[in-house]
């Protein structure tokens, strides 16, 4: 079946067209940002490494947040109350 057969009406089709246009704008903006970084002397390999490190950081941070949440439940406190005990900033 075609994607159109899943659309309940023309409004949904128009919404999809708008979403596609927005994604195209974002793609162009990202391409421009990459070109700017390359012109500043960064390499694609370096950018890929930074992205990889950011993903790793976020995964570790998520695991830490999960552990803090479980500890907070066990202690009957909020995670916010645990931050000073572990020298964490609320922005961490």
Label each residue of the chain as H, E or C: CCHHHHCCCHHHHHHHHHHHHHHHHHHHHHHHHHHHHHHCCCCHHHHHHHHHHHHHHHHHHHHHHHHHHHHHHHHCCCHHHHCHHHCCCCCC
In a domain, 4, yes or no: no
Q: Is residue 30 part of a domain?
A: yes
One domain, residues 25 and 54 = no
Q: Are residues 20 and 30 in the same domain?
A: yes
Q: How confident is the model at residue 3 (pLDDT cuts 50, 70, 90)?
A: low
87 & 48 share domain: yes
What residues contact 82, with CB distance under 8 A and at least 6 apart? 68, 71, 72, 75, 88
Give the model confidence (pLDDT) of 37-74 as tens digits.
889 998 888 888 999 999 999 999 999 999 999 999 99
Residues 6+ apart with CB under 8 A from 83: 89, 90, 92
Q: Are residues 68 and 83 in the same domain?
A: yes
How confident is the model at residue 61, as a pLDDT? 92
Q: Per the confidence metrics, is the pTM higher than 0.95?
A: no
**Is there a single domain that holds both residue 36 and residue 49?**
no
28 and 51 part of one domain: no
What residue numbers bound the domain in which 14 lies? 9-42
Measured CA to CA, the distance from residue 83 to residue 92 in angstroms comes to 9
The answer as to whether 2 is a domain residue is no
% of the chain beyond a pLDDT of 90 = 62
Whether the per-residue pLDDT at 12 is higher than 90: the answer is no
Number of structural domains, the chain? Answer: 2
């Amino acid at each position: 079946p075609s994607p159109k057969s899943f659309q309940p009406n023309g409004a949904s089709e128009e919404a999809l067209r708008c979403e596609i246009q927005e994604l195209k704008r974002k793609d162009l903006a990202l391409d421009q940002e990459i070109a700017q970084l390359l012109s500043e002397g960064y390499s694609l390999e370096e950018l890929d490494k930074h992205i990889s490190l950011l993903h790793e950081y976020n995964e570790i941070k998520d695991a830490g947040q999960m552990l803090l949440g479980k500890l907070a439940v066990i202690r009957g406190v909020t995670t916010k109350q645990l931050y000073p005990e572990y020298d964490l900033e609320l922005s961490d």
